[in-house]
Structure 1
Amino acid sequence: MLGLGLAIEPQIWALVFVMVRIGAAFVAAPVFGAVSLPLTVRVSLSGAIGILVLSTHSIVPPPNVFAVGTFVSVAAEALVGLAMGFILQTAFAAPLIASEMIGGTMGIGFASSIDPQNGRSSPALGQFMSVMLTLLFLSVDGHLVLVDMLVKSYEALPPGAAWLGADRLRAIAFFGGYAFLAGLLLALPVGFLLLCLNLVVGMMSRAAPALNLFSVGMPASLAVGVIALAVAFPAMGDYMLVIIRESLGALQTIILG
């Protein structure tokens, strides 16, 4: 009996309790939290990892389902899972920030479509860069590192004592600023060339006011932007790997200390 006349198998209740943290992480994390991923797949993965956690850790769920302590424990589990997914999701916002900077300067900021990751409209250039970051994330086994951190989190933050301290919450907040820094550095090679082009166009407009620069500046910005993207994309890919390593390192620091 688990309270209010409710009877449930202890093993099933333990599995459901463990799945709270894992499911919350999958909801907030990239790749796993994509709207295109069916809910049944997400629940099945949470259950499979939950069985792995129960086989490697001694998890004691709250004795009563309908109790204040149970609700507090479930909230703590959800907080830990959401924090883990939020760290990775913050890193995945860097390409969108970079695309806003580059696309606005190139004049293609109006080109947008529905992002399959979150179901919202986003710049086409940002979707391209997000797809590349996702492929790099999968190529370096970032999804497996996330699963490994989820399993290890039950040892570092066992259920019942899973509240994140003020120092860890502060680290999560500070890591949110890394998304803007990473987006700026990601857009820096192309953005610098476009800035130089705008300076040249501005000098031409002052030197020859009668010259119609709108018919020259827009095609020039688009051409320079496309060429700069083609040339700088290998270096941008290398920095995307740095973003992934930083996010996984921050995840490890938050969970394991």
Structure 2
Amino acid sequence: MLGFGLSIEPQLWALVFVMIRVGAAFIAAPVFGNVSVPLQVRVALAGAIGVLVLGMHNITPPPQVFAVSTFLAIAAEALVGLALGFILQIAFAAPLIAGELIGGSMGIGFANMVDPNTGRSSPAIGQFLSILLTLLFLSIDGHLVLVETIVKSYTALPPGAAWLAPGQLRDIALFGGYAFLAGLLLAPPVGFLLLCLNLVVGMISRSAPALNLFSIGLPASLAVGVIAMAAAFPAMGDYIMVIVREGLEATRSLVIG
């Protein structure tokens, strides 16, 4: 029943209720939440996964739509979905932090481009690393793992008991620090060589004060930065895989514990 003497098909109301958690997760999660993904596609995916959830779990939606208890249940469902997607979004922020550090050391911190994930401007190097992380995320079926985690969340956090505990909210906040740690650990392979270059340039400037450092330092920083990134790609790719796995594991631990 909708309330006010109105009615709705029970199966349709159950599907709409299930789609709230799935849709909230897709809004906050990377790849699914990209601004380039049409809203119709997100709704269709949420409906398809909702049908899957209804086939695997016995979901009983609130009896009335226009009721305070129903609004609280919807808020709880949206909170769980947003938390599942937000954890992965935190992990995807690590390459942007590394790009800020590397770009500033190379002297191209002003080089920005539009991020297709968010539609906002971001550093070019950070955008490149973010695209690399997205490709690796898709290559290990991370999007399928996310969908599986959302479906399993209905077992660990069934509707009606879906409010996140204070400990789970604390874990989400603490995982936010992992983005800064991962970004700092992703930048050193290139940042160390650029630091050594800056030390050399500094010694040259002390020995030859009349030398124009802008005509030497910036091209040297660009050349060393590009060569260092090309040489560090294997190590950076391996650590990006670690970031992806850590994000998926944090999402899974939020649901399973």
Q: What interval of TM-score do these two structures reach, taking the shorter chain for normalisation? A: over 0.9
Note if 1:23 corresponds to 2:55. Answer: no
Tell me the residue number matched to 2:66: 66
Note if 1:213 corresponds to 2:223. Answer: no
Q: What secondary structure does 2:113 align onto?
A: strand
Equivalent-residue separation in structure 2 for 1:35 and 1:182 (angstroms): 25
- Per-residue deviation, residues 150-172 of structure 1 (Å, max 9, x unmatched): 00000000000001101111100
Instruction: Decide which moves more: 102-111 or 92-101.
Output: 102-111
AA aligned to 2:175 is: F
- State the 1:113 CA deviation: 1.5
Tell me the residue number matched to 1:89: 89
Q: What secondary structure does 2:187 align onto?
A: helix
- Per-residue deviation, residues 185-209 of structure 1 (Å, max 9, x unmatched): 1111001111111111112222222
AA aligned to 2:244 is: I
Equivalent-residue separation in structure 2 for 1:59 and 1:213 (angstroms): 68
The 5 A counterparts of 1:35-74 are 35-74=35-74
Equivalent-residue separation in structure 1 for 2:192 and 2:71 (angstroms): 52
| Equivalent residues, number | 257
Tell me the residue number matched to 1:79: 79
AA aligned to 1:168 is: Q
Tell me the residue number matched to 1:100: 100
Equivalent-residue separation in structure 1 for 2:177 and 2:20 (angstroms): 28
The 5 A counterparts of 1:90-239 are 90-239=90-239
- State the 1:181 CA deviation: 0.5
- TM-score normalised by structure 1 residue count: 0.98
Equivalent-residue separation in structure 1 for 2:230 and 2:107 (angstroms): 17
Equivalent-residue separation in structure 2 for 1:124 and 1:58 (angstroms): 47
Equivalent-residue separation in structure 2 for 1:175 and 1:203 (angstroms): 41
Note if 1:10 corresponds to 2:10. Answer: yes
AA aligned to 1:162 is: A
Equivalent-residue separation in structure 2 for 1:65 and 1:76 (angstroms): 15
AA aligned to 1:178 is: Y
Runs (4+) off by over 3 Å: none
- TM-score normalised by structure 2 residue count: 0.98
Equivalent-residue separation in structure 2 for 1:223 and 1:72 (angstroms): 57
- State the 1:2 CA deviation: 2.4
Question: Tell me, which stretches of 5 or more residues in structure 2 are unaligned?
Answer: none
Tell me the residue number matched to 2:248: 248
AA aligned to 1:207 is: S
Q: What secondary structure does 1:108 align onto?
A: coil
- State the 1:247 CA deviation: 0.6
Between the two proteins, what is the percent identity of the paired residues?
75
Q: What secondary structure does 1:225 align onto?
A: helix
Q: What secondary structure does 1:113 align onto?
A: strand
- State the 1:128 CA deviation: 1.2
| RMSD, aligned α-carbons | 0.8
- State the 1:79 CA deviation: 0.4
